[in-house]
Amino acid sequence: MSKSIWRFLESFLLPKIKHCYTVSQGVADLFKERYKKQFRVIRNVPLKKEIPFLNNEERLIIYQGALNVGRGLEYIIRAMKQIEAKLIIVGEGDISKDLKDITIALKLEEKVSFMGSIDPNELSSVTRSASLGLNLLEPKGLNYIHSLANKFFDYIEAGIPQLCMRFPEYLKINEEYEVAVLLEGLNELYLANTINDLFNDKEYYSKLRNNALKAREVLCWQNEEKKLLEIFKNI
């Protein structure tokens, strides 16, 4: 559906809805400004699972999610030429074949693995085996700039540090919990240097990991669902 159709549906339906909620404060503020409607925020955080954490000595970087344009995937694959680690890519999308072609052209098959789409329960175990999560986005529009991706919270639940963009929602959470290295932009040299520096700074890496383990106790569905249930009670 085109953007104009979505905008029409929003303007037609939202004024008629009594209880509204969305996934981030940035989006809630945009809707309030546009439609003069108050939105609650219910973040799409995962259920906290009580399963053992893995202590993998191998440096593994993980990206999980759609393989689409604007996710910074071309940059990270090219950066792997200079990164002392391996990259696991989980998911499928419009540019899956293009990314595999880049990997082959750069002779990076030994460092970059494509797992395709996998069962969510298996994904949780794979994520916990990683050393670092990736949440890379290009600022292609307000939807990206005000995003609060599921994977951001999935990495926290897995207890691993992550790289993500210095967008408002991530900045706000990171100021409170310090679980991520925030990126100012995307290019392969910048990514390579940032990741290598993080892995080589064992004290800072351990700090981010410990912070993620603490944050998972708060940023989980067991807590977030209470806000949603409160909305349902008032319907």
* Crossing angle of the two packed helices 25-35 and 3-13, in degrees rounded to 10: 70
Residue 35 lies in a domain: no
Residue 49 lies in a domain: no
Domain span at residue 145 reads 60-215
What does residue 179 show for φ and ψ, rounded to 5 degrees? -115, -5
Give pLDDT tens digits for 63-101: 999 999 999 999 999 999 999 999 999 999 999 999 999
Residue 234 lies in a domain: no
Q: Does residue 160 come out as left (phi exceeding 0), alpha (psi in the -120 to 50 range) or beta?
A: beta
Supply the pTM of this predicted model.
0.92
Residue identified by tokens 């680690």 is 85
55-89 in b/e form (b: 16+ CB < 10 A) is eeeebbbbbbbbbeeebbbbbbbbbbeebebbbbb
Residue 30 lies in a domain: no
Find the mean pLDDT for residues 170-195.
97
1 pLDDT exceeds 60?
no
Residue 110 lies in a domain: yes
Number of domains composing the chain? 1
Residue 25 lies in a domain: no
15 pLDDT exceeds 70?
yes
Q: How confident is the model at residue 2 (pLDDT cuts 50, 70, 90)?
A: low
| Domain harbouring 137, CATH code | 3.40.50.2000
Which pLDDT score is estimated for 141? 81
Residue 71 lies in a domain: yes
Q: How far apart are CA 37 and CA 137, in angstroms?
A: 28
Residue 182 lies in a domain: yes
